[in-house]
């Protein structure tokens, strides 16, 4: 009885656009369902991109293939959070990746996977990649991820320092204008429109003021300096 050949890793070509993040879809209970008065289906469909898995990887997973798409990582600005940088995963070999094939049946199933364009061949035979080459690619990916993570953290911290410096500059300017004894007007908060007199700065950005009161009663409050505008 002949022993079956061990599985090997082979290079394949992917269709354009299939190495980008996969869009996941899931159901979310509707407001009426949460309230206990479900109408219709009782849920809506939500979707979002999965940054850790591409379209072709999702399709190969669904087909039952073991696969590997070499990736590199970069520090990219978060589009929704100003000044925040995060890791972003990109295909290292654009248009190519690797799958593990054990027998001829695997080849037939592979061509049925949406996003697979073909097999990389070498002299008419499928190109097999050695385990040591795969190991080198994985090491490069890990090093890329570590470097990108450090870069993202450094850029985020640098932006935090810049924002602190900008705010400190604004506070220094406000301290020059809102000095003790200065007449001010509240332009924000529940006392908006009231006139007051600056007594002291309690904290870096908090100011204690004495509200002008016709009954001559002391009415002191502490508000952020942004709530105040110098009178006159």
Ramachandran bin of 97, using left for φ above 0, alpha for ψ from -120 to 50, beta for the remaining angles: beta
Answer yes or no: pTM beyond 0.75: no
Residues 4-28 have pLDDT tens digits of 567 899 999 999 999 999 888 777 7
Domain 8-167 has CATH 3.30.70: yes
Measure the CA–CA gap between 95 and 137, rounded to whole angstroms.
16
Span(s) in the chain for CATH 3.30.70: 8-167
Find which of 70-84, 131-145, 156-170 is predicted with most confidence, using mean pLDDT. Answer: 131-145
Q: pLDDT value at position 183?
A: 93
For 76, 161, 188, the CA distances from 82, given in Å and listed in that order, are 12, 13, 25
Higher pLDDT, 200 or 231: 200
Question: DSSP assignment, residue 108?
Answer: H
What phi, psi does 102 have (nearest 5°)? -105, -30
- Topology (CATH) of 178-230: SH3 type barrels. (2.30.30)
If one compares 54 and 104, the residue with the highest pLDDT of the two is: 54
Query: Which ranges in the chain are annotated with CATH 2.30.30.30?
Result: 178-230
- What confidence category does residue 1 fall into, taking pLDDT thresholds of 50, 70 and 90? very low
């Amino acid at each position: 009885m002949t022993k079956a050949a061990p599985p090997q890793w082979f290079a394949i070509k992917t269709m354009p656009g299939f190495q980008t993040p996969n869009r996941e879809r899931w159901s979310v209970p509707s407001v009426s369902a949460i309230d206990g008065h479900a109408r219709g289906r009782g849920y809506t469909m939500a979707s979002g991109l999965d940054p850790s898995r591409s379209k072709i990887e999702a399709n190969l997973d669904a087909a039952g293939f073991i696969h590997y798409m070499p990736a590199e990582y970069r520090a990219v600005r978060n589009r929704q959070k100003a000044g925040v940088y995060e890791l972003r995963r990109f295909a290292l070999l654009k248009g190519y990746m690797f799958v593990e094939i054990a027998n001829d049946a695997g080849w037939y199933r592979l061509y049925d996977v949406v996003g697979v364009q073909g097999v990389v061949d070498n002299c008419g035979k499928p190109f097999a990649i050695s385990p040591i080459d795969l190991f080198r690619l994985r090491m490069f990916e890990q090093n890329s991820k570590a470097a990108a993570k450090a870069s993202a953290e450094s850029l985020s911290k640098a932006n935090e320092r810049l924002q602190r410096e900008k705010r400190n500059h604004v506070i220094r300017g406000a301290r020059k204008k809102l000095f003790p004894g200065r007449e001010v007007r509240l332009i924000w908060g529940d006392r908006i429109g009231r006139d007051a007199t600056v007594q002291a700065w309690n904290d870096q950005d908090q100011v204690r003021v004495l509200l002008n009161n016709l009954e001559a009663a002391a009415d002191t409050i502490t508000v952020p300096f942004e709530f105040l505008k110098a009178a006159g």
